[in-house]
Structure 1
Amino acid sequence: MDEARNLTELSTFLSTGRWDPAWICGQPLYALPASLTCALAGPTPLGLRLASVLCGLLTLPAVYLFARSIASRRTAWLAAWLVAVSHWHVIFSRIGFRAILTPLAIALCGWALARAWQRPTWTRWLSFGALCGVSWHAYFAFWLLPPLAFAALAVVALKRPPLRSRVAVSLTVFLILAGSWMLMVYARTGALLSSRVTETNVFQQTPSPVPIAMNAARALWMFTHRGDAQPRHNVPGRPAWPLLLLPFLIAGMGRAVARPTPARLGLLALWVATLLPTIFSDACPHHLRALGNVVPTAILTADGLVAGAALLARRSRRLAATLLFAFVIAGASGIGAYTYFVAYARQPALRFAFQAKECELARFIHDRLPSDRPVVVLNMVYGRESVGALVRARSDVTFVAWPLGAPVPPQVRSAGRETVWAIPQPDLVRLNALLGAPSLLAYFGPADGAPDWHLVEYPRPH
């Protein structure tokens, strides 16, 4: 549904030149590469996914630059390689969704901050603020990072007066670039935040700190025990990072604590901060919302591996260090290739995860339901746009949405003679059951104004 929605909006932009600030959930940065690839390859799933491939490829030199600015050349090359062969990163670089921009944005902003810290010129601090401001419009999982970074910089600047003016100007540039577009979105939609942020955070369910603690544990377990269960994001349950690399990740973290430097402590803080979007969400572990974590994870792992190889070289022959590098690089590459090309591709649920059934459902609605204003009810905030995209926004179809978890509105429940059958938040198994039946239930009503509900019931799936 996300890909269908993105394609519909990009197709409109390419054909008419009109852009709505609320498109792409009000986060338009992904539209830049996607417009280019869709213009070259056509507004097709392939054209859209090529944008993610492009972003994924650009992430590799960005990771190298970031790692090289805070560590050795060997660590930088190794970190870029680990990202390149990570199934976590590869999977999302093949999906037409804006989250793939998060690792790229983090790597570029981290590189800019490291350069500004090492040589605090006005140009470098302005560049850092500008990159943060532009990256704000990539994906909402990035939104926590600039406030945390500027808060930490403000504390440091209190003890370093020459840094105060530069940090202040950098912050101003960030606020201008981030806030100007958000004000345009607010003028268009009346909301400064993406509906997905308010809809998917853990505080929607309960204000208790218990879910946060449980999610924090799950976020750690996704590296060792059980990863994301969604078949679109992962081979269900597979750890996000190969277990072969886990000892070196722990070693890299240990070096950051045992031999602290501003760069190492900052990298460790970044590792924690990039897990917060999944810890604070209603779905944890969630590889997509934690995708930015692949950058600090790769650099910390590379640092631990380089340190381990150096220790071997000092205590034994250099051959042992070379063999360690060869074994880990070959092993990580083989694991990544097998996970993506074999295990991920063979999943029976993968076809459903990429909306084949939703497309069939949209075609079913389009072809079989009467044409006098059918209404499909979904209990998700963005359902109107997503399903509207799948049925090509027919003018005679009205989509009604209400917040996640809310009961069916009373006017819908009492609309007709029979019990209402609503389509819930996308549930692929249930959608499959719906499509296996002769027909489904629809509502009829006006597109705007007060609902005028009329119930039409078709045979229910059994």
Structure 2
Amino acid sequence: MDRKTALTLIIIVAIGAFFRFWHLNELPPGLYPDEAMNGVNAIHALNNADFEAFYPENNGREGLFINLQVLSVQIFGPTAWSLRATSAAIGTLTVLIFYFLLKEFLSFFKERLTKNNEAFSFFNNEYFVPTATFLLAVNSWHVHFSRIGFRAIMVSFLLSLALLFLLRGMRTKQIKNYILSGFWWGLGFYSYIGFRLSPILGLAVFIFDAVSWRVHRKTESFKTFFSHYIVLGIATVVTMIPLLGYLLSHPQDISSRSSGISVFASTNPILTFLESAAKTALMFNIAGDWNWRHNLAGAPQLTLLVSAVFLIGALILIKNTFLAFKEKNIAGAFPVVFIFGWLFVMLMPAMLTNEGLPHALRSIGAIPPVIILATIGLIWIWDFWRRNLKIKNVKLAAALLILALFAVGIENYNRYFVAWANDPNIRGAFRQDLVLISKFLNDQDENTLKYVVVNENATLLDNIPMPSATIRFLTNEDNTIRYLTSDRLDEIQTESGKKTIIVLTNKDDNELNNKIYDLFPNIQKNSDDFTYYQVNN
């Protein structure tokens, strides 16, 4: 890598880091209980030196991301920033790995392509890789989940690493690359449930490689060729041994969450799947995720400029692949197998469910191939204009491309840091009230008896609904705080000379309010961002 290329990469990664770390301590506001549950597990892992391959609480979560968060919590303490910084770091590293994956993809493809090079001229453009890397660096969809403490951010990172070394192995035939690919692939199963479908992409790449071997009758024997994939598979399984051991002994955790929301749980699975697939397909350009935690509710997952070049890129790639087939050029099919295969497989975690669609989180692994298609479209348009306007000045042509990328960057910045960040709905979506409750409890002195009544319906954590996780984490599992459900008010005790504080996680509960007044007629109620009661003895 020459100095100019290295500097360009450093600048792009720095931009990616800026988008992911800028005001991370403030945005998103609050701390959603699903994020905080990771923190509760991290505190327990630190206190007990007990790092799990799988954490069964909260419908079950693979352990790798949580175990990485442990390090952040150990360094920075129990804060929302410490949980989200792990995501931001992984998101930034994904930008870097994506650059090297694209370089390897183009090296492999150009080596295999023997004719019809003109049809894929956009891959020969020197700006293709840095352009794609920049588009990922500023992509608001990827930025969004890089700033939330959800484990799904690891999918693109680990799958990109697995594919990087797989392509390198296919190109160099070095066994170490297949081992490394298997390692990263195996590690991916510790990340997020959606990664479990990724072997389908690996199978598609293998089939392409096998057909290519058959057609071109390469010098290596089929036994040698096949052994490479056997090694990859063994490396994957060996890496998975701790997780497999856990799941075999706890089979109920294999699909504890997904089974209830699967399309196969519906009365008409085929129709439900088609509806899910249609909503998922439209999420890029028409209507995206409606969950404020995941997106600017209802807005397409791609900003206007990127959504346009994404469609153009997809059409161009399909068209040029047909041209390659006409010339019986097997290598020309590889981009479709690789890019569309990746896209389809990583959309399946969303398409196979019937809840909350379209779902930006479950389809997060599809972001890299979407970016590749958008880059094809952008580079094709830029090159078309350059040729038709007869722009021969290289610097002027590059300036036009940079201007287009600058517009994309501004567009994505505005989507996240202006439109989404300033919408009042996100405070409730991330339960900012629970953070305020935690700060309030942390400010109480040792002579205060503290009770938190979690008067909400949610998944249970130690027999208390999940919203308690945010308070438990941000108060560093303060054992002086008692957590109760609304049917256990009789456990509230007062002591002479001590102040008693009773906090409600759901402040709008008139029935519970009346019960508390019946128990403590002289109690003082305070209600603003949250409700608490105070008894002075």
Q: Name the TM-score, length of structure 1 as normaliser.
A: 0.79
Alignment counterpart, residue 100 of structure 1, candidates 149, 153, 172: 153
Distance 1:437 1:396, change over 3 A: closer
Alignment of 1:370-381 (within 5 A): 378=457, 380=459
Equivalent pair of 2:350/2:359 in contact (CA under 8 Å): yes
Matched, 1:389 2:469: yes
Q: Name the residue aligned to 1:332.
A: 408
Matched, 1:235 2:296: yes
Q: Name the residue aligned to 1:127.
A: 180
Distance 1:20 1:167, change over 3 A: closer
Distance (whole Å) between structure 2 residues aligned to residue 116 and residue 5 of structure 1: 39
Alignment of 1:175-190 (within 5 A): 175-187=237-249, 189-190=250-251
Distance (whole Å) between structure 1 residues aligned to residue 240 and residue 77 of structure 2: 30
Alignment counterpart, residue 89 of structure 1, candidates 142, 156, 178: 142
Distance (whole Å) between structure 2 residues aligned to residue 312 and residue 50 of structure 1: 41
Matched, 1:51 2:51: no
Distance (whole Å) between structure 2 residues aligned to residue 135 and residue 270 of structure 1: 15
Q: Report the CA distance between 1:384 and its aligned residue.
A: 5.7
Q: Which moved more, 1:106-115 or 1:149-158?
A: 149-158
Q: Name the residue aligned to 1:252.
A: 313
Structure 1 unaligned spans of 5+: 401-411, 413-431, 442-455, 457-462
Distance 1:78 1:436, change over 3 A: same
The one-letter code of the counterpart of 2:410 is G
Alignment of 1:289-368 (within 5 A): 289-318=362-391, 321-322=397-398, 324-357=400-433
Q: Name the residue aligned to 1:276.
A: 348
SS of equivalent residue, structure 2 residue 377: helix
Equivalent pair of 2:464/2:483 in contact (CA under 8 Å): no
Q: Name the residue aligned to 1:267.
A: 339
SS of equivalent residue, structure 1 residue 440: helix
Equivalent pair of 1:252/1:304 in contact (CA under 8 Å): yes
SS of equivalent residue, structure 1 residue 239: coil
Q: Report the CA distance between 1:26 and its aligned residue.
A: 4.0
SS of equivalent residue, structure 1 residue 131: helix
Q: Report the CA distance between 1:201 and its aligned residue.
A: 2.3
SS of equivalent residue, structure 2 residue 240: helix
Distance (whole Å) between structure 1 residues aligned to residue 304 and residue 146 of structure 2: 22
Q: Name the residue aligned to 2:501.
A: none
Q: Name the residue aligned to 2:37.
A: 5
Equivalent pair of 2:200/2:345 in contact (CA under 8 Å): no
Distance (whole Å) between structure 2 residues aligned to residue 258 and residue 226 of structure 1: 26
1:52-99 alpha-carbon deviations (Å, 9 max, x no partner): 110111011111111112235521111111111111111111111111
Equivalent pair of 1:82/1:298 in contact (CA under 8 Å): yes
Matched, 1:138 2:191: yes
Distance 1:131 1:385, change over 3 A: farther
RMSD: 3.8
The one-letter code of the counterpart of 2:229 is V
Distance 1:363 1:385, change over 3 A: farther
1:251-274 alpha-carbon deviations (Å, 9 max, x no partner): 322333233331343112111211
Equivalent pair of 1:186/1:192 in contact (CA under 8 Å): no
Q: Name the residue aligned to 2:129.
A: 76
Matched, 1:67 2:102: yes
Equivalent pair of 2:311/2:374 in contact (CA under 8 Å): yes
Distance 1:374 1:324, change over 3 A: closer
Q: Report the CA distance between 1:391 and its aligned residue.
A: 5.5
Higher Cα radius of gyration: 2
Matched, 1:163 2:235: no
SS of equivalent residue, structure 1 residue 14: helix
Distance 1:386 1:157, change over 3 A: farther
Q: Which moved more, 1:305-314 or 1:264-273?
A: 305-314
The one-letter code of the counterpart of 2:42 is L
Report percent identity of matched pairs: 24
Distance (whole Å) between structure 1 residues aligned to residue 198 and residue 485 of structure 2: 35
Distance 1:119 1:440, change over 3 A: farther
Distance 1:370 1:314, change over 3 A: closer
Equivalent pair of 2:208/2:337 in contact (CA under 8 Å): no
Distance 1:82 1:101, change over 3 A: same
Q: Report the CA distance between 1:113 and its aligned residue.
A: 2.0
Q: Name the residue aligned to 1:195.
A: 256
SS of equivalent residue, structure 2 residue 42: helix
The one-letter code of the counterpart of 1:12 is H
Q: Name the TM-score, length of structure 2 as normaliser.
A: 0.69
The one-letter code of the counterpart of 1:208 is P
Distance (whole Å) between structure 1 residues aligned to residue 178 and residue 159 of structure 2: 16
Equivalent pair of 1:150/1:171 in contact (CA under 8 Å): no
Equivalent pair of 1:257/1:265 in contact (CA under 8 Å): no
Equivalent pair of 2:100/2:164 in contact (CA under 8 Å): yes
Residue correspondences, number: 417
Distance 1:381 1:217, change over 3 A: farther
Structure 2 unaligned spans of 5+: 1-32, 107-122, 215-221, 322-331, 488-503, 514-518, 520-537
Equivalent pair of 1:68/1:76 in contact (CA under 8 Å): yes
SS of equivalent residue, structure 1 residue 275: helix
Equivalent pair of 1:48/1:96 in contact (CA under 8 Å): yes
Matched, 1:435 2:470: no
The one-letter code of the counterpart of 1:174 is T
Q: Report the CA distance between 1:250 and its aligned residue.
A: 2.3
1:327-365 alpha-carbon deviations (Å, 9 max, x no partner): 421221111111111111111110111122456799999
Q: Which moved more, 1:234-243 or 1:198-207?
A: 198-207
